Structure 1
Amino acid sequence: LMGFIHLASFLFYSFAVDAMEGDALVIKCPPWSSYVRITWYHTKTNKIIPAEEEGSRIFSFKRFLWFLPTSREDSGNYTCVAHYSNNVTKEFHISVQVHPDKQAICFPSQIRYPNDTGKGRIVCPTFDNYKNATIVQWYKDCKPLQGERYLEKDKYIFISNPRKEDDGYYTCQFTYTHNGNVFNVSATRIFISNVKYSALPPQILFPKENDVIEVDIGATLSLKCQARLGIKKQPIDVVTWDMNNIPLLLSISFEGHDQEYYRETTLYITEIKKEDLQANFTCVAVNQMEYTKATVTLQLKAQWGQLSVLMITGFLVLLIIISVSVVLYQSFRVDIVLLYRKIFQPYPVKDDGKIYDAYVIYPKRQTSEANFVEYFVYQILPEVLENECGYKLCIYGRDICPGEDTASAIEKRIQKSRRLIIILTLQSIHCEDLAYDQHVAFYNALIQNDTKVILLEMEAIGSYEKLQESLRYIIKQQGTIKWKEMPTGPPQSSNSKFWKHVRYHMPLPQKTSC
């Protein structure tokens, strides 16, 4: 497609170029005289396209403009301006369209060049634009060309005694090497023999298979179907619409570019009804070779009111799901966390510098209330946490060796513990002076914020007002875990509510049986 406008010493020309995405593309500015200075521009921005630099993909040199390789973003208009010595300037506008590389289509029908004559010689288009190019394969209608009737020589393919079945699309695929990089190029042209007509496999150009068309109830609709059937007028050429396999209309014909033969038909629906939304509308194209079809369906256009209702409903459902999830997590978070540990078996960090999982602090006064506390500390607590769950506890009187400096030993072991378990009893209310291990524990928990505290309330204390201020603060922050077991009898199961809460606050266990 080319035209020109003549204004004094200024000449304007335009033409179009199609290319496949990912291929190399070299465009030649038409002037042939060697006494011409050529400048290339981006038409839209009027910016000069410079010569090749390291890493550049689009560049120019004299009459040529390179795309190595092409990209979809390269589609647009380009200008080459030729300045002649006689003060005549010619401006060439080139429209470049880069088509997507679709695997289902071997060579897009848009990427083709003017037809060849029926003499049986086909030249590979644009081959001369690429130096040191090598033809890899010729194709006819997307199938590799082979047989004794075809002779390949240089940039040509020769057909011996061409006949109507030789009509069709011929594509030369070649490689182009530039600075050690190899690029693919393909160029297609149509060949028409001297016979009266030639059929090609029918191709429906539009609509596409499984297209969905949005409509309004009560509105009118026109559905156009267009198909290519061959070269020149065909003896059998039908393009029609079916609705649920019932024929509706016949078609009209016309001759297109390069003597290609088309038929098209339009289906008119004067009023869209609800039953039309359930129907299949099929365009059928038939010639003497075969037939093909493309089916489309109708659907209602989304209304803003419907969208608003759907969005509000979806938001409310999402809000309910989130609220229920939060409530369930708050109610069952202990069981959820313990179940996660059991199923996924996460392992504790071994390089945190700690030796013990918990240091146990309890009232040490020898009163009647303390008897069960000592039994709990020395018997029940180790039985469940150490024997069943694999934790390592540090208990004063059991794990501090005789002869050690008590204060130093307590401080070191607390610092080497990941948790502090503090046993609370009624005796805690009447204890005015804190033991040394309690002082160190509160310092680590409150001042250094280094160690987490687990408070076990072994008997109902009632009001916490008489407890030490540091204990009251910790209780206010995290509460206590209340023991509801009788003072006598076997220890509870590790799956009871009390022990689940203790395990929840403990670090990850060394073994996964608990």
Structure 2
Amino acid sequence: MAMLYAHVIGNFLFSSFPVHAMEDEALVVKCPQNCQNRTVKWYHTQTNQLIPAEEGGRIHSSGRFLWFLPTSKEDSGNYTCVTHYSNYTKQSTVSVMVYLHKQGICFPSQIRYPNDTGTLTSGRIVCPTIDNYEKATIVKWYKDCKPLQGPREKYSMGERYLFIKRPQKTDEGHYTCYFTCIHSGNVYNVSATRPFIVKEEVSSPIPPQIQYPADNAVIQVEFGICGALLGIGKQNIAVVTWEVNGIKFSYFASYREYYGESILTIEEVKEEDLLSNFTCIALNEIDHVMLTVTLQLKVPCKGDNHSTYTTIGILVLLSIIALLLILYQFFRIDIVLLCQQICKPYKTQDDGKIYDAYVIYPKNRTNEANFVEYFVHQILPDVLENKHGYKLCIYGRDMLPGEDAANALEMRIQKSRRLIIILTPQLIQCEEIGYEHQIALYSVLIQNNIKVILLEMETIGNYAGLQESLRYIIKQQGTIKWKEKHKECPHASNSKFWKLVRYHMPLRHKPSQLNHAV
């Protein structure tokens, strides 16, 4: 609306611009200079008469501001504000033009304020100059000099703006805001007009949607977050803000392209805050929405301590269980053997079995002594039978003279609870597996009525040379390996080798009266 003129004469810097106003309304003129921490004086330009700074006069100055309370037709003229700097004096001249009210004309063409680019065309009309006045309140809006009329949901008013929902071409025109201001205890009227033009294209196809909080909600926290969807793409207007009892806190707002969020932080909740209404406002070029929430002090529940102790107790219990599971994985064999020894050292069972294990080993076809036969006939019986009470059946030792070998082998395998098979490289060298192995593997794999324990007395390698049925069993359960270090003390039943053997052996049984040795 104003054209600024500036020129330099000597050590004076001059500038001038026009101001238009209506008669009998309040007018405040701001000196355009940066007058912070400097004394500003106002003069009537024609008479060079100083305008007093005392409040109470109809025309008076107040620092950077020149007040007309109210204006009169005779006030039209030029006014100068002078500010002194270190090496020059700066002065600006304001040309004030006051217009009379005429019948049928609510505002002269010269008094129109320009379009507010980027906001007006989106449906939001800001009341011009309202920020210059103290305690200003909008009373009414006019369109083309007629009181604004239309559906209630069509228009909504804020502290300093009018919002038109889904603006159309019929909404174009000149909008005048009438507001009041209070100065030195007196109330004055002010009016301001600006045009409104509807854009052909709207960048946001959807109205804003407040995601949280819910309307009329009671928030039990020390801060509130208002989050809203603002549309699609970059927009000319996208605002999410809080109002507390009608006072805006928009400086908390932060925006992104599709989403806006405003955080209202209350460092200390006071009693008056509990009686206040907190309103979240979201608007874009299409629409505006608002909701109201209240605050409530969060009172600790009586059961909070109990819940805390319960949670801690559960966490401690879970930690103990996890620790016990880890310990059990490391000491599982020792635990099982200890339980067998303490809880049930013997068990009487009529299962038709006589032997705890039948031992199958490669027979030495020469007269030379070897460690495998010594292990089978000396070490194995000493540890399992003498020290731990198991009953073994060993070929050659437990066969009766004159028995049919085939029938005797089959019967004794069937009367045993376990099969102990000694694995050595000699099994690979055999062209065909012995009858004893055939009966044993048939019982394990086909009849599935007996479990097998594989003792690898010598390193065999990848087991490729063994019979397929043996390779299958090894793949399923593995072997118990005898190592060279065990030869130093072969009868030590607490070594890892013997613990594994005992772990896979059945519970020790006390023979029933029906089971008789063969």
TM-score normalized with structure 2 length: 0.38
CA radius of gyration, larger in: 2
What's the TM-score once normalised by structure 1's chain length?
0.38
